[in-house]
Structure 1
Amino acid sequence: MQIHFIAIGGSAMHNLALALHHKGYIISGSDDIIFEPSKTRLAEKNLLPKEFGWFPDKIHTGLDAVILGMHAKPDNPELLKAQELGVTIYSYPEFLYEQSKNKTRVVIGGSHGKTTITSMILHVLNYHGIEVDYMVGAQLDGFDRMVHLTEENDFIVLEGDEYLSSPIDRRPKFHLYKPNIVLLSGIAWDHINVFPTFENYVEQFQIFVDSIVKGGSVTYNEEDPEVKKVVEASENTIRKLPYRTPEYSVEDGQTLLETPEGPMPIEVFGKHNLSNLAGAKWICQNMGVDEDDFYEAIGTFSGASKRLEKIAESNTAVVYKDFAHSPSKVMATTNAVKEQYPDRKVIACLELHTYSSFNAGFLKEYKGALDAADEAVVFFLPESVKIKKLKEVTPEQISEAFDRDDLKIFTESEAFKDFVFGQDYDNSVLLLMSSGNYGGLDLSSVKALVQGH
């Protein structure tokens, strides 16, 4: 098979290119810019384009397919040539379905937790030597790539993203997988540039549940009222299997999970992660893993990359960074850290960076999101708002949205850095939350500062 990738440098796209190269396919690709780590990883397999840009002469009738990434525009010269020549064009999720239509498809969906739950499932299967195909949204310990495809494996585990499939296919990715087994973790409004109302966003999950293959199953978080409503209202002929947060306790900074064999120490923490763990357990059991075997494996799971990741620790201080940026994730992460460290001062810093977070109408969703922190900080760069061609957001609007009188707000990188490096971290936890880079904050210097305590 000869496959060409338009926009090969994306996080998901380059992993799929690597997976297909590993499978023995002939791969080519183009992009106008490629960042690390994609650049090095493609170069190692000789898949990095020789020059950046779009080259219609790379498209020819000898190609079996073109895979179109979200980063490309609808008028991309290579895409237009492929359309003109009648070459088969797939979006990323369409191609994953094509590769897995004879397998049992397990799709993990939800506004939050899906990367962690998918990672937990893959960790457990890997621990017990159970081979499956997969696609997950973070780099995992013990796995070479975020995508793995074979001819022989019976199962494929897919992280089910609700974002759009491609520049010419505006359907959410998870509508295209036709799953046999689904997990639905939670519904909290996100991607407002695509789904302008909450009702419109929820509708995507209704379509997802209705797309489950007849006789399949949905394992769902019954503690989330929107999830419960969507699943219970579906008339699809599927099994509906609720789960809820298991019993657990926290002692001296260690989370203990209640199991049939008694309390078991685990490396992840926070109510949301215990809920994720319960969902992962049921999916693993659906895939043939015994409960005891699940518990044995999950005790060694330390978390998905960028998800509540401990980056530094000393006797009296600890630093976590987290990819959290939407209101529900920010609240869950902040609550989790305070619950794990009730006797320490929690300094929570959130960078507003996404399109949604700069929307005046959406900002109010952040109300109470940082309440669990002892000290709460919001950092954003007005230039980011301008780049996204959005109306100016003022510190007053942010203060009002979070509804916290002592909220500190920074709009300059240097002022934010001065704050971070000016704190006394004795008996403290520093929590950094963003999908950006905190205005270029040097995390290695933060580590050195904290480890000096």
Structure 2
Amino acid sequence: MRVHFIAIGGSAMHNLALALHHKGDTVSGSDDAIFEPSKSRLDKYGLLPQEMGWFSNVITKDLDAVILGMHAKPDNPELLKAQELGLKIYSYPEFLYEHSKEKTRVVIGGSHGKTTITSMILHVLHYHHKEVDFMVGAQLEGFETMVHLTSKNDFMLLEGDEYLSSPIDRRPKFHLYKANIALLSGIAWDHINVFPTFENYKEQFQIFVDTMVNGSILVYNEEDSVVTEVAESATKPTRKHAYQTPEYFIEDGETYLVTPEGDMPIEIFGKHNLNNLAGAKWVCQHMGVDEDEFYEAISTFKGASKRLEKIVETNTTTVYKDFAHSPSKVVATTKAVKEQFPQRKLIACLELHTYSSLNAEFLKHYKDTLDKADEAVVFYSPEAVAIKKLENVEEEDIKEAFQHSNLKIYTNPQLFQEYLKTQNFDNSTLLLMSSGNYGGLDLDTISELIS
């Protein structure tokens, strides 16, 4: 196939481009800006556009497919040319479904945990040399790309994102996959710029389970009451399996999972991650992995990139970075770190970076989310608020929302970095939560301060 990507530089898009290149397809692409690591990875395989921008002349009749990324606008000149020529235009999820429509599709959905659960399943399958096609939202140790496509594998494992498919297809991505096996981890209101009410957001998950094929299997987290409601009312799946957090304990900063074979030390920690593990186990069993095989493999799972990822560790200090940004993720991550190191001071830093988190009304949902932190820091950029055309967020709004007795607020990247440089991190845990980078924080600098 000859495939052209409009907005090839995105995290998901460039991984799909690499996957098709590795499969033997002829791949081209355009973008108006490409950043690392996408830039170097595309360049390595000769897929980096020679010039930034949109060029209608690259869209020709001999293209078999055009894949349209969310970064592009509806009036993109390349998109308009493809429409004019009557070419087949796919959104990212549409293309993945087209590739996998003859395979058994396993879709992991939920407001939180879906990247980790998908990564756990992939790790277990890879450990036991079971090959599947996949798409996951984070880089995983042992895998070159976040997307892998073949013609021979029987399964396609998909992280089921509820965000929109493309500028011209406003359906949530996971509505397009038509799962044979699905998992729902949790439902907590997110993406308020697209789903203005909780009921509207919840409805997307109801539609998701309704798109499952007849005779399918649904695995769901029964500790989430909204998930349970959606799952129990679903009619397409003929088999439903509820899961809950397994028994575990912490000893000397190490987490042990209680299994039929005895207490097993594991690399990950936190109740939310143990809950994710329980869901991953059910899905793996439906994919042909026995329970004892699952435990053997999961004991070596260290986590997905940016999900409680350890940056540096000494005898008295540990630093983690985490993608957490929504209220439910922030409270779960902060609680997990404090539970793992209860005798240490916890300094939890959160960057408000997304549309939802910078919305003055939505901020109220962050009440008590940092309560487990001994010292809490919130960073946000007024420029980001202006770019997103939101109402101004004042420091008083932040204080009122979080209601933490020891809260510091920074809007200047340099002042935030100076704060970090002046801290004594002995007998402390530093947790950096963000889907951004705190205005350009160099994590190597943090490592130098600790070690």
The residue that corresponds to 1:125 in the other structure is 125
Superposition deviation, residue 48 in structure 1: 0.9
Alignment of 1:249-328 (within 5 A): 249-328=249-328
Shift of 1:384: 1.2
Question: What is residue 175 of structure 1 aligned with on the other side?
Answer: 175
Alignment correspondent of 1:222: 222
User: Could you state the TM-score of these two structures normalised by the residue count of structure 2?
Assistant: 0.99
CA contact (8 A) 1:123 1:298 kept: yes
Q: 2:214 is matched by which residue type in structure 1?
A: K
Q: Which residue of 1 aligns with 2:404?
A: 404
Deviations 1:304-333 (A, max 9, x none): 001000001111111001111111000000
User: Could you say which residue in structure 2 is the equivalent of 1:65?
Assistant: 65
Is the Cα–Cα contact under 8 Å of residues 67 and 95 in structure 2 kept in the other structure? yes
Secondary structure of 1:123's aligned partner:
helix
Question: CA offset at residue 236 of structure 1?
Answer: 2.5
Q: Does 1:415 align with 2:415?
A: yes
1:53 alignment partner AA: G
TM-score normalised per structure 1: 0.99
C-alpha distance after superposition, 1:147-178 (max 9, x if no partner): 00000000010000000000000000000000
Report deviation, 1:82: 0.6
The answer on whether the counterparts of 1:178 and 1:211 sit within 8 Å (CA) in structure 2 is yes
Task: Show the counterpart of 1:4.
Answer: 4
Q: Which residue of 1 aligns with 2:111?
A: 111
Indicate yes or no: 2:27 matched with 1:46.
Answer: no
Contact 2:307–2:323 (Cα < 8 Å) also in 1: yes
1:81-96 residue pairs with structure 2 within 5 A? Answer: 81-96=81-96
1:423 Cα deviation from its structure 2 partner: 1.1
Q: What does residue range 375-386 of structure 1 map to in structure 2 within 5 Å?
A: 375-386=375-386
Count of residues paired in the alignment: 451
Aligned residue for 1:29, secondary structure, equals strand
2:392 corresponds to which letter in structure 1? E
For 1:445 and 1:23, how far apart are their aligned partners in 2? 39
1:406 is displaced (CA, Å) by 2.3
- For 1:27 and 1:411, how far apart are their aligned partners in 2? 42
Is 2:54–2:77's contact at 8 Å kept on the other side of the alignment? yes
- SS state of the match for residue 376, structure 1? strand
CA contact (8 A) 1:108 1:159 kept: yes
Distance 2:187 2:54 in 1: 38
Could you say which residue in structure 2 is the equivalent of 1:142?
A: 142
Q: Which residue of 1 aligns with 2:330?
A: 330
Instruction: Please report how far the alpha carbon of residue 383 of structure 1 lies from its aligned counterpart in structure 2 after TM superposition.
Output: 1.2
Tell me the alpha carbon deviations over residues 25-78 of structure 1, each in whole angstroms, 9 at most, x when there is no partner.
111111111111111111111111111111111111111110000000000001
Map 1:191-202 onto structure 2 (within 5 A). Answer: 191-202=191-202
> Is residue 133–residue 157 contact of structure 1 (8 Å, CA) maintained in 2?
yes
The AA in structure 1 aligned to 2:39 is K
Tell me the residue number matched to 1:436.
Answer: 436
**1:189 positional shift:** 0.5
* 1:102 aligned onto 2:102: yes
Q: Tell me which moved more, 22-31 or 105-114.
A: 22-31
Cα RMSD (Å): 0.8
Secondary structure, counterpart of 2:361 in structure 1:
helix
SS in 1 for 2:430: strand
Question: Matched residues in 2 for 1:139 and 1:322: separation?
Answer: 14
Q: Deviations over 1:390-439 (max 9, x none)?
A: 11001111111112232111121122112111111111000010011112
Unpaired segments of 5 or more residues in structure 1?
Answer: none
Hey, what's the Cα distance between the residues in 2 that align with 1:103 and 1:233? 26
How high is the sequence identity, in percent, across the aligned residues? 73
Which shows bigger deviation, 378-387 or 107-116?
A: 378-387
**Does 2:431 correspond to 1:448?**
no
